[in-house]
Structure 1
Amino acid sequence: MDLAATLQATPAGEPIAIIGVLALLLVLVTIWSMVEIVDAYEREALTVFGEYRTILEPGINFIPPFVNKTYPFDMRTQTIDVPRQEAITRDNSPVTADAVVYIRVMDAKRAFLEVDDYTKAVSNLAQTTLRAVLGDMELDETLNKRQQINAKIRQELDEPTDEWGIRVESVEVREVNPSADVQRAMEQQTAAERKRRAMILEAQGERRSAIERADGDKQSRIIRAQGEKRSQILEAQGGAISTVLRARAADAMGERAVIEKGLGTLAEIGRSESTTFVLPQELTSLVGRYSTHLTGSDVSAAEHHLEGLEFDAETRELLGLDDIAEIIGDLEETEMEMDIAAMEGEARAIADDTDPTAVSESAPGDETLG
């Protein structure tokens, strides 16, 4: 009775207005339910009455209202952390490892229809594969061949994930840690290896130092021996030069004495009444040699000097005579100039005290002036 009384009390136009508002709201809700906006990095699977219809692309999509349901899929690369796993290596060493898997949804339809939760499925599969790969390797390989472990895990994940419309882009093992006991043993091994290398390097250094010292001593002995040899050679050459110079000086003094004696004899002969006198060949030879320097004659000096023994090539090289040729030449030139000057003075003295004579006779081996 209260409802009937209320309807009787309500004006006739108000129910129509309420109905209109409700109808407008229904239209708006229907339109809103028919429009589905998909982001650029997503795809959405559409079902109507629980039946798969299509994959909604990015943008505005119109779908059946009230009876639809959508399931979004992120098409960007996603990161899945693989929890730390414990494994036993092939050489029975316990290790723990964790990894990161990078995946991307390539086929949203298969990811929707073929697997319940693809991220959870990939994570569980990666955990199992990581333990299996570590179990097939030795401890040293698990610590050193990180890239090989990554490649094996990715290879094992590729086949099942392809069926789910998922692509595994990369797998990275972050840490592989052996047990505490194994770590201590490895540290001891590393310390022993480093100590061994240090001892080897020290031994090599000592050996190298000994070799260098031996080479230095050898070079020093060679240099000292060469110096002593050179000193002995120079000393021998000096003695030879001194001997030659003394011999040349004695020879020159002897020639001067002969010449002076001969000139004195000529002076005595010039004072005598005899017109015939004999001169020794040695005196004429000396006079001829000095007269060549005085007159500039082109007659070879070899015709007037006394014959003597010559040094052979080996003796000249041993005494160093070739090196002192210039010294002896200078001494001979100076000595010769002095002798020529003395001869000129004595010749002028004889010319003043005696008359000219001629050579009248000659004997075998002698020269006769008359």
Structure 2
Amino acid sequence: MDILSIIIVLVLLVLAYKSIKILRPYEKGVVERLGKYQRTVESGLVMIIPFIETIKKVDMREQVVDVPPQEVITKDNTVVVVDCVIFYEVVDPFNAVYNVVDFYQAVTKLAQTNLRNIIGDLELDETLTSREMINAQLRKVLDEATDRWGTRVVRVEIQRIEPPKDIVEAMSKQMKAERMKRAAILEAEGYKQSEIKKAEGDKQAAILEAEGKAEAIKKVADAEKYKEVALAEGQAKAILTIFKSMHEGNPTNDIIALKYLEALEKIADGQATKILLPVETAGILGSIAGISELFKERTEKTPTPEEKE
């Protein structure tokens, strides 16, 4: 093989190397012809005219920008150190290549400026408790500003909001006092609940004791009632037996009158008692009067010892 053939082969290899480009799946290419935008190509094998066309590869994956910490003054004149990270992705390769020179520096300065504006409108307490709001507001501002750069801001995350040391110490003391206050409140609430439970227990015990006493009294009353009923039934049976015996023996009015007097004596029981008698007792009372006259006559007829002498 002569030298000319070798030169031709080398030229062809160089031309092939310059004309064939491979783009990865996450890449797109911007093709320029003699310094002028020609077209945007997708990933894969791309053919260009060597020495006339050039291609600029654009990474379409989500990327991150770490914004350096900076001092920001809050609305209540407190200096805090704030830093954040920005996640973005390219959506238009043409604008990403031709509308911004250094996207990293541009988005960093834009984020720092807007952080000062957003936090400058908040007091320290709001700044420390409103990270989600700051993230959302900053992402919205950056997304609108970077739209002409062919990028989309996916999200923004505040990494650190650090107040001065003296304020941190004061906040630590305040939090400690607040925790002690909550502990005291919880302890008092626990004691209150304990006393309430104790009072409810005493109340329940008193109710149970009263119910027990009432049940005992009821049982005693039932026993007394049973006793009285049994006595009354016994007396009724005894009276019935006496009544039957008396009628079977054909008693005279005198015997009935004596039994009636004995019954009245038991009823009176030695006390001054007014006894109401039914009308049907008139015959018996007549027998009693007859017995009284009989005793009186016998007394008059019976001589005294002096008369016998």
TM-score for the superposition, normalised by structure 2: 0.71
- The residue type equivalent to 2:17 in the other structure is W
Residue 140 of structure 1 and its aligned partner are, at CA, apart by 2.7
CA contact (8 A) 1:86 1:95 kept: yes
Among 27, 41, 53, the alignment partner of 2:38 is 53
Residue 214 of structure 1 and its aligned partner are, at CA, apart by 1.9
Q: Secondary structure at the match of 1:171?
A: strand
Residues 221-260 of structure 1: pairs in structure 2 closer than 5 A: 221-257=206-242, 259-260=244-245
Deviations 1:43-89 (A, max 9, x none): 23333443333334333333333344432211121122222232222
- The residue type equivalent to 2:127 in the other structure is T
Deviations 1:241-289 (A, max 9, x none): 43443344345445544554555557xxxxxxxxxxx679979xxxxxx
Paired with 2:73 and 2:41, the residues of 1 have a C-alpha distance of 47
Q: Secondary structure at the match of 1:65?
A: coil
Match of 1:272 in 2: none
Q: Secondary structure at the match of 1:76?
A: coil
Match of 1:181 in 2: 166
Paired with 1:181 and 1:189, the residues of 2 have a C-alpha distance of 12
Residues 151-170 of structure 1: pairs in structure 2 closer than 5 A: 151-170=136-155
Residues 196-275 of structure 1: pairs in structure 2 closer than 5 A: 196-257=181-242, 259-260=244-245, 263-264=248-249
Flag the 1:86–1:242 CA change in 2: closer, same or farther, 3 A: same
Gaps of 5+ in 2: 258-276, 285-309
Paired with 1:38 and 1:247, the residues of 2 have a C-alpha distance of 120
- The residue type equivalent to 2:94 in the other structure is K
Residues 306-317 of structure 1: pairs in structure 2 closer than 5 A: none
Residues 76-155 of structure 1: pairs in structure 2 closer than 5 A: 76-155=61-140
Paired with 2:17 and 2:207, the residues of 1 have a C-alpha distance of 107
Flag the 1:252–1:120 CA change in 2: closer, same or farther, 3 A: same
Residue 197 of structure 1 and its aligned partner are, at CA, apart by 1.5
Identity %: 37
Alignment coverage as a number of residue pairs = 262
Paired with 2:101 and 2:196, the residues of 1 have a C-alpha distance of 76
- The residue type equivalent to 2:206 in the other structure is R
Q: Secondary structure at the match of 1:170?
A: strand
Paired with 1:40 and 1:259, the residues of 2 have a C-alpha distance of 128
Q: Secondary structure at the match of 1:221?
A: helix
Match of 2:288 in 1: none
Which has the higher mean CA deviation after the structures are superposed, 121-130 or 72-81? 121-130
CA contact (8 A) 1:46 1:70 kept: yes
Paired with 1:68 and 1:114, the residues of 2 have a C-alpha distance of 21
Among 39, 44, 50, the alignment partner of 2:24 is 39
Rg comparison, structure with higher value? 1
Paired with 1:62 and 1:150, the residues of 2 have a C-alpha distance of 43
Flag the 1:117–1:241 CA change in 2: closer, same or farther, 3 A: same
Which has the higher mean CA deviation after the structures are superposed, 26-35 or 185-194? 26-35
Match of 1:333 in 2: none
CA contact (8 A) 1:281 1:365 kept: no
Paired with 1:97 and 1:62, the residues of 2 have a C-alpha distance of 48
- The residue type equivalent to 1:30 in the other structure is L
Match of 1:62 in 2: 47
Flag the 1:35–1:249 CA change in 2: closer, same or farther, 3 A: closer
Flag the 1:254–1:57 CA change in 2: closer, same or farther, 3 A: closer
Paired with 1:166 and 1:255, the residues of 2 have a C-alpha distance of 121
TM-score for the superposition, normalised by structure 1: 0.60
Q: Secondary structure at the match of 1:174?
A: strand
Residue 41 of structure 1 and its aligned partner are, at CA, apart by 2.1
Deviations 1:187-238 (A, max 9, x none): 2222212211121122122222222222222232233233333333433443
Gaps of 5+ in 1: 1-13, 267-277, 284-307, 310-363
Residue 157 of structure 1 and its aligned partner are, at CA, apart by 0.6
Among 22, 25, 30, the alignment partner of 2:15 is 30
Paired with 1:46 and 1:240, the residues of 2 have a C-alpha distance of 118
Match status 1:73 vs 2:58 = yes
Deviations 1:161-192 (A, max 9, x none): 11111111222223333332222222222221
- The residue type equivalent to 2:208 in the other structure is I
